[in-house]
């Protein structure tokens, strides 16, 4: 049996408006039943921990990239307005 781990990031401005798209990652992890049985606890815990770290790394990198890209677009638009 397995379960799914879902991690997501949303970046909002101070008014609650989303400033970039929602970013998510989904990973397979051992089920709660597997943990409750107590069999292979270390192996199941390792799988869980690795899934969390991998998902967090993926979405963090994508969030930073999207954030910087969005900031770059806004700065470019702002500079164009100032030139006119």
Q: For residue range 41-75, what is the model confidence (pLDDT) as tens digits?
A: 888 889 999 999 999 999 999 999 988 988 888 87
Domain borders along the chain are 2-83
Provide the mean pLDDT of the chain. Answer: 85
Give 14-48 pLDDT, tens digit per residue. 787 777 778 899 999 988 888 778 778 888 889 99
What 3-state DSSP class applies to 45?
Answer: helix
Whether the per-residue pLDDT at 77 is higher than 80: the answer is: no
Would you put residue 22 in left (φ > 0), alpha (ψ -120 to 50) or beta? beta
Q: What is the pLDDT of residue 84?
A: 63
Residue 81 predicted with pLDDT over 70: yes
Which are the contacts of 74, defined by CB distance < 8 A and separation ≥ 6?
A: none
Please enumerate in sequence order all residues whose Cβ is within 8 A of that of 39, keeping only pairs 6 or more positions apart, or say none: none
């Amino acid at each position: 049996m397995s379960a799914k781990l879902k991690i997501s990031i949303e970046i909002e401005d101070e008014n609650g408006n989303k400033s970039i798209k929602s970013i998510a990652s989904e990973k397979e992890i051992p089920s709660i039943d597997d943990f409750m049985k107590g069999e292979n606890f270390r192996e199941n815990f390792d799988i869980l921990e690795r899934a969390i770290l991998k998902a967090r790394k993926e979405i963090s990198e994508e969030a930073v990239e999207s954030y910087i890209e969005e900031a770059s677009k806004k700065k470019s638009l702002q500079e164009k307005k100032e030139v006119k």
